[in-house]
Structures are given as structure tokens and as C-alpha cells.
Amino acid sequence: MEESSEVSESSEVSEAPIAGIGTMVFGKWDASEVVCSDPGISRYVNLRMIGAPHTGGRHANAWFGKQDLSVTERFINNLMRSGKYSGKKQYCAKSLEEAFDRINSRSGENPLQKFIDAIAEAAPCEETTRVRIGAVSQPKAVDSSPSRRLDVALRNLAIGAASATMKSKKSLTDGIISEISKAAEGDVNSFAVGKRHEVERIAASAR
């Protein structure tokens, strides 16, 4: 009886998940304690990161492969889509890491939680599309899919962070901190939140 109990205990220990594997973003911030307030996009928000935020596009040709990418890497990729940060992935990654460090030193909370809150506030729920009826093309309101909501939120947050450095002495780190902090609080002065309100207002008028 003692041997069987020991075997069962050892099997339970071996089957238990190892804490911290793939949950430490930049090796500092624990993603397992982060909660997404938006149930629509929560299943698509992936914070799993092992090593550096650089997968080399291995998921690019996979069906819905981008949901296997960490949202931090996707945000970094959006930062370097165009403009003066184009192709500078290492610089963008270091800027985001420094922004997380400074957010933590200011507020004392997990910066990943603020980042996810900013995404949830910036994700539009509905948009407009053009529907052609005969020879007339009319705008119609449509619900946005969760995957597209996440895409639009990350893109607008990155555009807002990068545009904050244009014609300014602000660094990219300062732009990221400003955009994430404003968006997490739902401030309309944030580019991403302002864009969401504009898109949803246009969709509401096109119902």
C-alpha cells in the first residue's frame, strides 16, 4: 500500500505544470497573474514568451498563426511597420522593455496588466464596410471579429506611440509610456482610444 501511494504521489508531481516556463516576459514580468477584462479578445491575447521576442516569422503562413505570437512581439512588429523605426526591431524591443521598467517604477504594478488594459480599451467592437446594392454602394455597420479587434488595437497603439516622437524630443520609450498609460485609463487623448471612439461613432450612424 505504501509503494502504491508513493507511485501516485510521484505521478502527480511529474504531471504538475512547471511554474514560470514561458510566462516571464523579458525575464522580469510574470504574465500568469495578468487578467484581460475583455472576454472577447481574451483567448487571442497571448503573453507566452520564451527568450527574445523574435520568432523570425515562423507563424506567418500558418492559418491563424499570429495567435501563437506573443502580443508584445506583435506590438514591437507594429512599431517598426513604417517611418523612422522601420526595421529597427532590437531598438523597438529595448524601448518597450525600458517602458515596462519605468511604468513599474512609477506605479509599482505589473506593466503587463496596464498593457493588456490599454489593448482592451483600444479594441473597437464594430466597424463599417461597403455593401453594394445594385449601382449604389452604402456603408453598413458590422461587428468586428476578436482577432481583428486585437490587430486594430495593437496597430493603433503602435501608431500613437511612434507619432508621439514626431517633431518632438520624446524618445520612443516616452511615446510608449504615454500612449499605454492614457489608453489604459480610457483617455480620449490617446490616439488608439480616440480612433476607437471615431470608428464606433461612424458605425453607429451607419446602422
Instruction: Report the CATH superfamily, name and number, of domain 2-205.
Output: Ribosomal protein S7/S5 (1.10.455.10)
Contact 36, 110 (CB under 8 A): no
Structural domain spans, the chain: 2-205
> How far apart (Å, rounded) are the C-alpha atoms in residues 83 and 18?
41
Report the alpha-carbon angle 140-138-40, nearest 5.
15
* pTM for this prediction: 0.83
H or E, element range at 24: strand 24-25
Q: Which residues of 107-129 are buried (b: 16+ CB within 10 A; e: fewer)?
A: eeebbbbbbbbbbbbbbbebbbe
Write out the chain's pLDDT in tens, 207 residues: 444 444 444 444 444 444 444 578 888 888 888 888 888 888 888 888 777 787 877 777 888 888 888 899 999 999 998 778 888 989 999 999 999 999 999 988 889 999 999 999 999 999 999 888 888 888 899 999 999 999 999 999 999 999 988 888 889 999 999 999 999 999 999 999 999 999 999 999 988
Joined together, the cell numbers standing for residue 79 give 512599431
